Amino acid sequence: MTVTEQSGPAAGDAERRAAIARAGRLRAAGREVRITTVWVRTAWWLVQALCAAAGVGASVVSVAHPIIGAAVAGGALLIALTDLPPLALARRLTFARATENVVAAPPDRAGERPVVLVLTASGDLPRRGLRQRLPGGVLRWSIGGLALVTACCGGRIGGVDGTWIGLLQLVPTLALLAALLALLDEAVADVQPGDTAVEAILLAARELDADPPTQIDVAILLAGAGDRQAAGLRAWLAARRARGLTPADAAIVHVERGSGQPLELGGWERGGLLLGGRLHPQLITAARQAAGREPALRAVRAAGRTQGPAAQACSAGWPVIAVKAGDGAETSAFLVALARELDDLVKR
């Protein structure tokens, strides 16, 4: 990977330079490539931080004024929930920034194929901050804390009093404080280096172009602002849906950044920002079969759920799985095996 391909934070100059360099590599491999600029509002953390701060204040106020506390906490909870994708209402008051999607259409071939496989990864680098250290994700801490503080305020309004309600309310208040610190850290945290996910997709595309599947087309999407609740991927999917692409015609494989060996199918059975919904069952089956086809890769299932771009695509109704990248070449081999399994699945 060249120096110009080293990406950076979402909607930054390094991300734009990397998008141009990666588009050049795909063109050199014979792909028709477009770089599309998408205006996104990346300050999701600011809205959630303000809501968490309001929840802490509401918890303190509710001791003497429970009605006011309930109103503030309930309002903050409503704002926090409606600022989640796809609504994202409150962040519309923040500044928009430009990010780039690198889109490589499937190579021209005779005939039509019923399914397009979209291999996608985030083009930016995620921030390595306190958010990643909160089990279950920062949104569960902040929104869950707001819900519990609101409930405690409601109990106080109903006449519940005593030391025990104060001790009970202290737990979500501390959770909100932890979430607030983690959310504010998003503005200053360093990025997490390593672009093995992007490299794996570029390598897999080259091999699949040399020996293409017979029943599926393979498109490439290096989506911008992936660390900002998959803003680039969500924009691309919305645009493609408006142009006629349906979930029945697509299969999406999102490659998330990993941390070495063994290769992990990260969060490949469940995904979601708050609730863990099941990812696409046929793609899960294909991934298991691909892991069996390439036993030397030692691909294992990751525990838990993904909260990354795959979760966003899943919540929008698209068939998707997530793969956590290990070594670029080995992840590429797994992606190729997965494409072959999907091709066989469509043939049946």
* Summary mean pLDDT of the chain: 90
What pLDDT is attached to residue 303?
A: 63
Residue 233 has pLDDT above 50, yes or no: yes
Q: What is the pLDDT of residues 308-317, one digit of tens each?
A: 898 889 888 8
Q: In angstroms, what CA-CA distances link 214 with 111, 169, 221, 343, 348?
A: 10, 59, 21, 7, 12
Q: What is the model's pTM? A: 0.90
Q: What is the pLDDT of residues 176-227, one digit of tens each?
A: 999 999 999 998 898 887 778 999 999 999 999 999 999 999 999 999 999 9
Instruction: Band the pLDDT of 261: cuts 50, 70, 90.
Output: low
What pLDDT is attached to residue 78?
A: 98
Backbone angles phi, psi at 5, to 5 degrees: -90, -5
Mean pLDDT for the stretch of residues 222-250: 94
Q: What is the pLDDT of residues 325-347, one digit of tens each?
A: 877 788 899 999 999 999 998 88
First-to-last C-alpha distance (Å) of the chain: 39
- The token pair at 99 is 């990010």
The b/e string for 149-184 (b: 16+ C-beta within 10 A; e otherwise) is bbebbbbbeeeeeeeebeebbeebbebbbbbbbbbb
What pLDDT is attached to residue 348?
A: 75
